[in-house]
Chains A and B, each alone.
Chain A
C-alpha cells in the first residue's frame, strides 16, 4: 500500500514559501554586508536543501533538480570555494522567484512553465563551469547541462526526464546522443531481518535516485500469507534500473550499510534490455510511476505519428517528456487541460500526459486558473497555543467547580457561586482575547517583501534608496494583513518612482544622494497606523489643484484645504492624469488603494511638503471580527454604531437647527452644517421621541462627510463580535452586520457609509423634482 503523498503537499507548499522567504531575506542581508556571514549562507543552504528534499520526496522533479543546482552552487560558497558576487546574489534572488512560481504552479495544479527557469539554470551552469574547482563531476550536473544543450524546446532536467530520454532514443532515433550514461541493473535481495537493524530500503533507493534515473521493481512473490506475516521482517526484494554515469563503486556505496545483510548484484544492463520486469501490482508508488513511463514509452510512436500541430517530432517528444515527469510526479491529478484527448491513448495516465503535451505544444497553457484557493493555514507560536491550553484548563476547573456547586445548592453558597461566575467571566474573556490573538500576525509579514522590492526598483530606476522599517512587531489580523499587502506595495512603489529624485537631483537640492523610505507601524487608539514616508520632492498642492481642475474633478472656484487637495489624488478621475513633471503617475491606481483600505474599514491620509517629502498614513482596524461599538436605542430597537465612525454625540439645541428646502434639516455644528437623519424614519420604526428639541444626536463621519443620527438613547460602549447577515440572509441597506448582545438578543450594526450615501441619494431625489 502506498501512502497518499497528496496529504503532505500543502505542508510542502507552505514550507517552501517560508523557506523561499527566509532565503530571500538572507540573500538581501548578504548583499548589504561586505563580509560574508557563514550563518546566512547556512540559512540559504538549509532552505534550498529542505525544498529539494521535500520536492524529491513528493516527486516534484522540476523543483528538485532546480534546487539541486542551486544547492551545488551554495555548497561551494559554504565551503569557501566560491565568493558570492553581487551578480550571483541577483541570480539567486531570481531563482527564488522562479522557484516560487514553480511551487505556485504545483499548488494550482497547472504544469510548470520550465522556460522561466531555463535561463537561470544556464547561468548557474555557466557559473559552476567557470571556476576550476566547481563540482562538474556531479553526475546530475552534466545531465542537466546536456539536456539544456540538446534541446531548446524544453528544459525539464528532472531525474525522470532522462529515463524517457533513453526510451525515446531507442524508439525514434532522433535522440541518439550518447549521454555517457550507463544502465545499471541492481538486484537487491535483503535478508528478512534487515529492518531490525534499522535499515530502510526506501532510503537507499532515494540515494540511488539522486545519482540518476531510477526504476524500481518490487518482487512481492515471497510475501507470505497475511496470517504468517511478521511486521519487522522484509519479504520483498527488488530489481532496480539506474540510468546514470556513476560507476559500480558509487552504486555500491549506497548499500554500504546493508552489504552483509543482503544479496546484491550490480550489473551493467544493455540499453534496450528488457525493461519490463515481472512486477506485482502491489508495488510501491515509485514503481507505479515508472510504469507510467513505460506506458508512455509504448505510446511514443503514436504520439509522433499523430503530431498534427506542426511541431517537429523532437519538439513534441520533448514535450511529452516534460509532461511525463509531470505525470510521474503526480502533480496533475484528475485535471484535464486537454483540448483533444488522443483516442489511441487508452491508459488514462498516458492519455493525460499526451494531452498535456499537446496543451503545452499548443502554448495554450496560460495563467494558472485561479479559484481552487485551498484552505490557507496559519503558523502560530507555540507560546500562544500553550496559553490557550492553560486557559482551557482553567475553564474546565471553573466549570467543574460550578457544577459541583449546583449539585446541592443552598443559599449559603451564594457567595461562592457569584465568585465562581466571576471567575468564569474572567476565563471567558481571557480565552476570547487569546483566540483573537491567534489570528494576529506581526506586520513584518507584510513588510518583508519590501527590501527585495526596493532593491529591484532601485536597480531599475537608478535611484539610491535606503529602507528603514520600524514597528515590525506590531500585530495585525491575518485577513487585514493579506489585503493590505498590495496597497502597501503600491504606495511604496509610488514613493520610489515619483517621490524620490535621481541622485544628481538630490545632490543639487543639497540632500543626501541616497533617498530614505521609512515604513513604520504602530498602535494608535485601537487602530494600526502604517506610515510610509519618503524624503523626496514632495507634492505641490497647487499643481494637484490645477490638474484636478483641468481634469474636471473639481470646479475652478472650489475652495479646498490642503488636506482636501491631497485627497484628490485618490479620486478615480485623477488617476488617468497625463504626465505632469513632478507628479506624473502619482495617483495611478491610488483610487484602488483607497478603495481597498476602505473596504477593510480603514482610511488613508497624506501629508506632504514640497522639497521635503511625503508622508502617507494608513489607518487600519486591528481586526475585522470585533469592533468597538456604541449601543444606541431607537424605540424598542438597539443598534450599534461603530465607534470609529462617531465624531461626537450631543444634545440638540433648537436654535442651531435649520430647515432648508422641504424636509432637509441641518444642524449647525461649529463651522459645519450637518444633515440630521432620524433613524426611525430611515428604518421606518417607532421611536419614543420624534421632536428634535433636546433630542440626542450622534454625529458620524464617513465617505468624507458628516451626518447626525437622531437616536432615543445612548447605551453602553462595548466590543461586539461581528456576525454577517449574508450567511443566512442577504445584504441589507444601511446594515453592515449583526451581533449578539449580552442578553442573547440580536442587535444590528449600522453601516454608516451606506446610510450616508443613501441619505444623500434620497436628498438628491427630493431636490430634483423641485428643480424640474
Chain B
C-alpha cells in the first residue's frame, strides 16, 4: 500500500456517498437540538455547545440544495476541524448517516465533472471509485472556510423544499 494514500470517512447524503479527509474529522456525534441564530441562512441550523466551544451546525442537505428530511436515528453530526492548531475553526455538518472509512490512493482520484446547480462545485475535490461505488470527495479545507461555507455563489440558488430528482 502506498504511503500516499489517504483515508476518507464517507457519509451518506440523499442516497449519495461523500467522503472527507479523516484527519479533519474531530468527532462524530448524534444530532442534538441547536440554538438557532437569527438572520442566518436556512442551512445554518444553529450553534451547539461542544464542551465549552460554540460550534456552528450546517445541514449538508440544505447546503447542497437537497430536500431536507426529518432527522432520524442515523442522522449524525460530523465535527470537522482545521488542523493548523488548537484554535482552528470547528464546524459540524449534519449528514444522513456515516458509512465507512476507505483508503484511497491519490492516483485513483478523478477530477469531478460539473455538477451544475445541485452541488456547489467549490467543495468537490474529486471522485474516487471504491468497491464499484462512486464516492464524491469533499475538500475539508473549503468546508471549514467561513467565507466559502457560508456564502452561496450566485448561480447556485438555494431551492429549499424543492425535491431534486437524482
Contact = CB atoms under 8 A, between A and B. Distances in A.
Interface of B: 33-40, 44, 46-49, 52-56, 87, 89-91, 146, 150
Contacts, number: 66
Contact of A746 (B39, B44, B47): B47
A740 B47 CA distance: 11
Contacts of B87: 727
A30 interface: no
Contacts of B33: 745
Contacts of B35: 637, 738, 745-748
Contacts of B39: 683-684, 732-734
A65 B1 CA distance: 63
A738 B38 contact: no
A309 interface: no
Given A723-B54, A746-B49, A728 B91 contact: yes
A730 B146 contact: yes
B54 A728 contact: yes
A8 interface: no
Contacts of B52: 723, 740
B56 A729 contact: yes
A747 B49 CA distance: 10
A254 to B, nearest CB: 49
A729 B36 contact: no
A747 B34 CA distance: 10
A732 B146 contact: no
8 contacts: A723-B54, A724-B54, A727-B53, A729-B37, A732-B37, A734-B39, A746-B48, A748-B38
Contacts of B55: 728
A444 to B, nearest CB: 32
A738 B53 CA distance: 10
Q: Find the residue from B33, B47, B87, B91 having the highest chain A CB count within 10 A.
A: B47
Contacts of A728: 53-56, 89-91
B89 A748 contact: no
A580 to B, nearest CB: 45
A735 B44 CA distance: 15
B47 A738 contact: yes
A735 B38 contact: yes
Nearest to B39: A733
Nearest to A725: B54
A734 B47 contact: no
A725 B49 CA distance: 11
Interface string A687-730: 00000000000000000000000000000000000011101111
A744 interface: yes
A738 B89 CA distance: 16
Nearest to B35: A746
A724 to B, nearest CB: 8
Contacts of A436: none
A152 interface: no
Nearest first, the 6 closest Cβ-Cβ pairs linking A and B are A683-B38, A746-B35, A729-B56, A740-B49, A723-B54, A746-B49
B25 to A, nearest CB: 16
A628 to B, nearest CB: 20
